[in-house]
Amino acid sequence: MKSDNFAFVGLKYGLLLFGLLFLTIPTLNLVDPELATFNGEHKRMDTFSFLLFMLIGTLATLVFMLFQSKFVMVELGNQSIKIRNGKEILEVNWLDVESVMLLHFVFPPLYKLRVKGHDGYFLFATQRSGLSIAGYTNDFSEMGNLIKKKKRELGI
């Protein structure tokens, strides 16, 4: 079972897209106020709105830069886990897994994986089958079921 490529790309680059959008809107408005319409009128953004958009865009871009190297593609098997980070492939046994946990307020389902002997953690998405109610996410995918089974068997 392999991570969903669409979910991987969406989660990894979504914050960058969001941040660049929030940085582009006030910049374009500053260059040419005719490009933006507020309440049906073409006008320049006020200073508070300009700074708010720039702050949100900058924060989203910084968060992307902090976490983008943590997102990986994962292939789960009954005995091993292949972690693909770009061209680098790390193969570990389930017994080497320190912890794996579902981040409940992110959809599609996103997991945080810690491996013994490696600093930090990895973030990976499963297939896009889950349920998100009021932001709380449950994973009903085949990968999610395997992770639950392995956590129960190995006491992770």
Residues 61 and 81 in one domain: no
Dihedral sign, CA of 6, 102, 151, 89?
positive
The 10s digit of each residue's pLDDT in 94-142 is 999 999 998 888 888 889 999 998 888 999 998 877 777 777 888 888 8
Q: Which amino acid is at 104?
A: H
- Nearest partner of 102 among 65, 57, 140, judged by Cα: 140
Look up the domain containing 60 and give its range.
5-68
Domain shared by 143 and 74, yes or no? yes
pTM above 0.75, yes or no: yes
Q: Both 130 and 102 in a single domain? A: yes
Domain boundary among 33, 68, 103: 68
